[in-house]
Amino acid sequence: MSLIYGFKYDESYPSHLFILESIGRQNVNSPAYQWDGESRSGNSVLLQVTTEGSGMLQYEGETYEVGKGSAFLATIPGKNRYYYSENANEPWSFYWIRFHGLHALTLWTEWLERNGPVIAMSKDSSAFSLLTRLYEDASSGSLEDAYQVSLRIYEWLLALQNSMDSGLPSYEAIPDEYQQLIQSIHHSFRNPVTLDELASGMGVSKHHFCKQFACYYRDTPMQYIRKRRVEEAAKLLRQTAWTIGEISARTGFDSLSYFGKVFRRYAGCSPTEFREARGEHALDVLKLI
């Protein structure tokens, strides 16, 4: 099974954005599946994460097995080759994302030099969750403009970098009460809440709560909530005709000026600029079966 989504940008897309070239999900079981990085055109980076089975990667003279719960990084073009082994005894299932722009190549080069080409990425990690959500939105046709896609890639990269930089604990190692809190945040982020209220709800001091939350999620609790609010605001700016003020209120911001400041910090532009760019930088999505 192959579900591949490619993206076409108009010639006027902003140079400061991440540009998504393709995202997909595949299940392969034939040695005919192989890619040689040195023979591929383009100037982009790729991450491919295994969900079942395993594949093989050759990188700078070394051979790696990329099994379940791991991913590999590659540059295109680049000195890499990945393939389905003729000795494999089960299909190789994976997601991948390919993109370019900003400092993507510099970032990939740094990560390859520091961490090597194969990294851990479990199904329960934030990086995996954000990647699969991006894929699902591509498959539903809800990715419609370049700014929104760039914002989503940026958020995913932050989660990926955090996991590599600090060795985040596995999902299983995070206490149940913190897992439940994250689920609650994703459902009720629009509601006003203070740090004191969150800490009290967990039955710990504010200092202890912030320290533990940052250990598990590499963000302060309020930063985590603000990112979720900005993501929802970007969606509403794209999908509705509500005013900026209405969207600010509906996503939990207590003032329009603060909403504008936070949105610009994460999206790189104002809410108005984001909305106006929707038509100018719309995307054509191609589904390839």
Provide the pLDDT confidence category of residue 287 given band limits of 50, 70 and 90.
Answer: very low
pLDDT score at 282? 44
- With beta carbons less than 8 A apart as the criterion, state whether 24 and 33 touch: no
How many residues appear in the chain? 289
pLDDT digits (tens, 9 = 90+) for 265-286: 777 788 998 887 654 444 443 3
Number of structural domains, the chain?
1
Q: State the average pLDDT over residues 108-117.
A: 86
42, part of any domain = yes
Average pLDDT for the chain: 84
Top-confidence residue, 15 or 136: 136
143, part of any domain = yes
pLDDT score at 172? 47
pLDDT score at 231? 83
pLDDT score at 288? 32
pLDDT higher than threshold 50 for residue 289: no
pLDDT digits (tens, 9 = 90+) for 27-44: 999 999 999 999 988 889
50, part of any domain = yes
213, part of any domain = no
Report the CATH number at residue 30: 2.60.120.280
pLDDT score at 269? 81
248, part of any domain = no
pLDDT score at 9? 60
pLDDT higher than threshold 80 for residue 4: no
208, part of any domain = no
Domain range enclosing 73 = 2-164+283-288
185, part of any domain = no
Q: What percent of the chain has pLDDT over 70?
A: 86
217, part of any domain = no
Q: What percent of the chain has pLDDT over 90?
A: 39
pLDDT higher than threshold 70 for residue 2: no
pLDDT higher than threshold 90 for residue 252: yes
